[in-house]
Amino acid sequence: MIRDLLIQGVQMALVLLLAPLLTGLVRKVKARLQRRRGPPLIQPYRDLRRLLSKEVVLADNASWLFRVAPYMIFAVTWVAAALVPTFHTGLIFSWSGDLIAIIALLGSARFMQALAAMDIGTSFGGIGASREVMIASLAEPAMLMIVLSVAIIAGSTQLSTIAAFMASLMVGLRVSLALALVAFIIVALAENARIPVDNPATHLELTMVHEAMVLEYSGRHLAMIDLAASLKLLLYISAIVCIFVPFGLEHGYAIGLVAWLAKLAVAGVLLGVFEMSIAKMRVFRVPNFLGAALMLGLLGVLLLFVSQGM
């Protein structure tokens, strides 16, 4: 019992510690592709330490919501990230690691973020919040379609069960899974504010979504929010990896850990290469992009209902 709790605690800590490293890896890959040397891999840790030691500058009309939101966002995202199976399935709290619960947790984080962005009353906050919610209004149904198709195949919405099912290779290659994977990747790009939906490195107001919402934050608040964003990226990548490439999850902690780290590294590199290969799309095209993800999810569910083999 104590041992299981400890292992779950190790997962929670690992997730928290590795999230900035993943962000650093993606930035390094992008820099290398641009023929720059780029910041060192541990730069995000240094940024966090710097931010934590700085003074918080608050606007005059900021309410309690503005001060509380970063902590709430961080807490909720950390909980969600800790529930996704990383190096082993069947951990002690894995019964609560339900895909729908995770979506709900991330949704509440987004809700608080949007409210906090509008709290100060600047126009950038308003733009960011409205764009974020627009993206969410399409991404969440798409995500639910994906969850539905995966759940129909695996028989449960609990991530541990799904991962175990997928790892057992009873599933074979299925068209609806391929469609769900493509849709999931599109949704992940949109939710994590990656190119082509949003540029994480920009500070141009016309192209910002996430950055616009956090423009007013500083000091430890900003550190919490940045860490939450890194955790969200780690969460999505872990979720994709544990559903679609769940190899190594059933073999013991050491192998599982090594496999997970390798998959994270590969995913980080692929994300960096992908972001460098395409351009950011115009904001009014984003609904089409996410609509395509919704259609793919819908198509996957349709195929599952109509045929048994697909």
Partner 1 sequence: MQHGLSFDIAHMLAGGLVLVSFMMLYQDRLYALLHVLALHALVLALAVAWQAHIQHAPHLYITAALALGFKAMLIPWALRRIVFRLGIHREIETVVGIGVTMLAGIGLVALSLEVMLPVTAHADPVSREDIALALSVVLIGLLIMVTRRNAVSQVVGFLSLENGVNLAATGAQGMPLVVEISVAFSILIAFIVIGIFLFRIRERFDTVDLQALDRFRGERPE
310 forms part of the interface with partner 1 (CB under 8 A)? yes
Q: State the chain's maximal CA–CA distance in angstroms.
A: 61
34 forms part of the interface with partner 1 (CB under 8 A)? no
Least Cα distance to 308 among 174, 201, 203 occurs for 174
Distances (CA, A) of 135 to 205, 245, 291: 17, 27, 10
Among 101, 270, 281, 302, binds partner 1 (CB under 8 A): 302
The stretch near partner 1 (CB under 8 A) out of 85-93, 224-232, 254-262, 291-299 is 291-299
In the complex, least distance from residue 304 CB atom to partner 1, rounded to whole angstroms? 11
In the complex, least distance from residue 308 CB atom to partner 1, rounded to whole angstroms? 5
299 forms part of the interface with partner 1 (CB under 8 A)? yes
DSSP for 45-97, please give it.
HHHHHHHHTSPP---TT--HHHHHHHHHHHHHHHHHHHHS-SS-S--TTGGG-
Q: Give the footprint of partner 1 on residues 54-83 (CB under 8 A).
A: none
Q: Give me the helices (H) in the chain, please.
A: 2-33, 43-52, 64-83, 99-119, 123-154, 159-167, 175-191, 210-213, 219-244, 253-277, 286-306
Q: Of 61 and 308, which CB lies nearer to partner 1 in the complex structure?
A: 308
In the complex, least distance from residue 178 CB atom to partner 1, rounded to whole angstroms? 6
Q: Of 103 and 304, which CB lies nearer to partner 1 in the complex structure?
A: 304
Do residues 64 and 104 touch, judged by C-beta distance below 8 A? no
Among 1, 201, 204, 306, binds partner 1 (CB under 8 A): 306
Q: Give the footprint of partner 1 on residues 166-205 (CB under 8 A).
A: 172-176, 178-179, 182
**The amino acid at 18:** L
**The amino acid at 43:** Q
How far is Cα 128 from Cα 211, in angstroms, rounded to an integer? 7
In the complex, least distance from residue 170 CB atom to partner 1, rounded to whole angstroms? 9
How far is Cα 52 from Cα 48, in angstroms, rounded to an integer? 6
134 forms part of the interface with partner 1 (CB under 8 A)? no
The stretch near partner 1 (CB under 8 A) out of 56-64, 79-87, 243-251, 284-292 is 284-292
- State the residues that interact with partner 1 by CB under 8 A: 172-176, 178-179, 182, 287-288, 291-292, 295-296, 298-299, 302-303, 306-310
